[in-house]
């Protein structure tokens, strides 16, 4: 076979194969069609999150010993000034989003300043004053 014959054979295979490939694909649902029905036994709404922790106070992550743009993730327990705290919230001072992704740490884009909300772990165990 010469070059023209091979080209003609290849083109005929492509022309005859394309309609069969298109027929094998499942058609798309029409726009606005309802989605799949929920599976029986599964909740139809998301499960509610545990009660949010409200921070006692906020400090920058650098005060806690982290590099700028890095901080502890929400829910982690850390020590600060000799006391145990739970990280209640964390956000950037500039208002940009921050990311944890299930890690032990939170990072801010472009090294923004992170502000960490701390809640004392055991406030009842702290002796404020002694009256004797």
Q: What is the pLDDT of residues 77-89, one digit of tens each?
A: 999 988 999 999 9
CB-CB neighbours of 2 under 10 Å? 7
What pTM value is reported for the model?
Answer: 0.55
Report pLDDT for 107: 92
The half-sphere exposure of 71 on its side-chain side, counting CA atoms within 13 A, is 32
pLDDT band at 21 (very low <50, low <70, confident <90, very high): low
Lowest average pLDDT, out of 59-63, 67-71, 107-111, goes to: 107-111
- Whether the CB-CB separation of 114 and 105 falls below 8 Å is answered with no
Rounded mean pLDDT of the chain? Answer: 76
3-state secondary structure (DSSP) of residue 76:
coil
Of 1 and 100, more confident = 100
> Both tokens of residue 20?
């069969």
For 124-131, what is the mean pLDDT? 54
């Amino acid at each position: 076979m010469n070059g023209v014959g091979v080209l003609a054979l290849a083109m005929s295979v492509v022309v005859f194969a394309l309609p069969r490939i298109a027929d094998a694909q499942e058609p798309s649902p029409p726009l606005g069609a309802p989605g799949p029905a929920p599976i029986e036994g599964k909740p139809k709404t998301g499960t509610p999150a545990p009660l949010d922790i409200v921070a006692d106070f906020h400090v920058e992550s650098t005060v806690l010993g982290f590099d700028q743009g890095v901080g502890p993730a929400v829910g982690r327990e850390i020590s600060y000034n000799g006391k145990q705290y739970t990280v209640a919230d964390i956000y950037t001072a500039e208002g940009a989003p921050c990311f944890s992704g299930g890690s032990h740490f939170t990072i801010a884009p472009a090294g923004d300043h992170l502000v960490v909300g701390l809640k004392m772990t055991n406030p009842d165990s702290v002796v404020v004053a002694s009256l004797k």
